Amino acid sequence: MYFRGVKIRTIAELENLYYSKLGAQIIKKDAPVLSTTTGVYNAVYGAEVWSQLNREANAFGLLPKTVWGRSGWRVLTARPAASGGGVGENGALPATIKPTWQELTAKPKTVAHTFDVSEVQEFLASQSDDDAVGSMAQMRAIMGIHHKEMMNVMLLTDVDTLAGNNLESIDRICSSKSEEDNCGITAGDSDIYGLDRSDAANSWADAQVDHNSNVDRVLTDELIRDMLMTDLPSAGANTTVGLTGHDTMSALTGLYDTQVRYNRNSALGESDAQLTINGVKTEKGIGVGIRVTTLYGIPIFTSKNVVQDTLSRIYFLDSSNPEGFSKPRLGIDVAKPTQYFEAGMNMGTPFAIDRLGNEGMFRTMAEIKCRFLAAQGKIRDLKAS
């Protein structure tokens, strides 16, 4: 055997030829099989679906939930008297007096999200060896999260958007006649629970709103202290939790950093917190839960859905129950808890949906109720610098 005029006599010489760099020269490129060659490669994606969306629902989670009792409630709107009551020696009894009551009402809202999967797709995604996704089981997990997230969106809708069939919003609860008159809000849009907030006679229902007439101003410690230490206490609030957006939380962290003139340790700190069906609980020594930032002792949570001006608004909420009633001052009354319903081929009920497929639904019946409007606070019209 000859290679380029050199005779190959032994196996050793033959191996040296084919296994060396010299031997590689006799292998010529022609038609290699590549991953792009038609019919030789298909990516397998698998059943896992990695969400690229932030689907947290913190506002829904931090509010206490109670069982729906009745659709109306009464509130005291004025004291029997502003002063007086002293009686002279052997004097006549004073005239009788009485407080002022008003009735508020809210019916439960139904929130429902449905989805459906054909019988063929259900088979491909759950039984066949094909690489498929979208089975009822997978959609059930996705839509369950979506159902809760959309209720979170409802709870954090801007005051200028009427609730309609959706849950009422924290921004509408935390509103006032002054905000409506000065912040470009459509007349009547801050009305809630059948209450006309445009009427000055209903000033008792005004939440504590620190606004700048729709012109953004720099977030300062003074704004926060005025709200937490003057406005809300004067209204009788027992503030239990704060809520804002991630951008405002970042601005708060910078505001109270040790490199600026405020002492972080006296204003911004940390606390143990649990998010339970009864809302936020802060208890020392609990081995489970999360660590949250506190602002002047108030736990502060963040949500992506908080209304933004330049920075997100800050809500200071009173969900306490110092009166010892059956309901908190602010919470979600649940008429029917979240339930899942399904009909179709998987359940043996195709006639119910009149299709060869499957349909699922998550449904919740509830409403957010505030029984002490003046004890709720909001700081809006903010920017970082």
- The predicted model gives 10-22 an average pLDDT of 73
Q: How confident is the model at residue 8 (pLDDT cuts 50, 70, 90)?
A: confident
Give yes or no for residue 181 having a pLDDT over 90: yes
pLDDT (0 to 100) of residue 216: 97
Say which DSSP state 91 is in. Answer: P
- Identify any residues that bridge with 192 across adjacent strands, giving them in sequence order: 195
Q: How confident is the model at residue 385 (pLDDT cuts 50, 70, 90)?
A: confident
Per the model's pLDDT, the better-predicted residue between 259 and 376 turns out to be 376
pLDDT (0 to 100) of residue 24: 58
pLDDT (0 to 100) of residue 52: 84
The bridge status of strand 109-118 relative to strand 6-7 is: unpaired
Per-residue DSSP letters for 363-378?
A: EEEEEEEES-GGG-EE
Measure CA 185 to chain center. Answer: 23
Per-residue DSSP letters for 23-76?
A: HHTT--------TTSTTT------S-----S----HHHHHS-EEE---SEEEEE
pLDDT (0 to 100) of residue 288: 45
- The predicted model gives 320-344 an average pLDDT of 95
69-96 residue pLDDT tens: 999 999 999 999 999 999 999 999 999 9
- The predicted model gives 247-253 an average pLDDT of 94
3-state secondary structure of 306: coil
Ranges of H-type helices in 108-263: 119-126, 136-155, 170-173, 177-182, 221-226, 232-235, 246-255
Q: Which helix (H) or strand (E) holds 59?
A: helix 58-62
Per-residue DSSP letters for 88-113?
A: -TTPPPPPP---EEEEEE-PPEEEEE
Give yes or no for residue 59 having a pLDDT over 50: yes
| CA separation for the pair 298, 4 (Å, rounded) | 87
Q: 245 near 306, Cβ under 8 Å?
A: yes
| CA separation for the pair 255, 308 (Å, rounded) | 19
| CA separation for the pair 278, 301 (Å, rounded) | 16
User: What mean pLDDT value characterizes the chain?
Assistant: 89
pLDDT (0 to 100) of residue 33: 83
Give yes or no for residue 217 having a pLDDT over 60: yes
Which tokens hold the place of 130? 């094909």
Which tokens hold the place of 54? 């932030």
What amino acid occupies position 319?
S
Which tokens hold the place of 22? 């010299």
**Which whole-number Å values give the CA distances from 46 to 36, 51, 52, 132, in the listed order?**
21, 14, 16, 7
Give pTM, 2 decimals. Answer: 0.83
pLDDT (0 to 100) of residue 274: 59
- Among 291, 305, 294, 364, CA closest to 57: 305
Give yes or no for residue 155 having a pLDDT over 50: yes
**Which whole-number Å values give the CA distances from 186 to 11, 143, 158, 381, in the listed order?**
95, 34, 12, 17
Give yes or no for residue 271 having a pLDDT over 90: no
| CA separation for the pair 372, 349 (Å, rounded) | 47
| CA separation for the pair 346, 169 (Å, rounded) | 38
The bridge status of strand 377-379 relative to strand 208-210 is: parallel
- Among 371, 374, 219, CA closest to 309: 219
Cα atoms in the Cβ-side hemisphere of radius 13 Å centred on 76:
6
Q: 264 near 252, Cβ under 8 Å?
A: no
Q: How confident is the model at residue 224 (pLDDT cuts 50, 70, 90)?
A: very high
The bridge status of strand 382-383 relative to strand 268-276 is: unpaired
| CA separation for the pair 346, 122 (Å, rounded) | 9
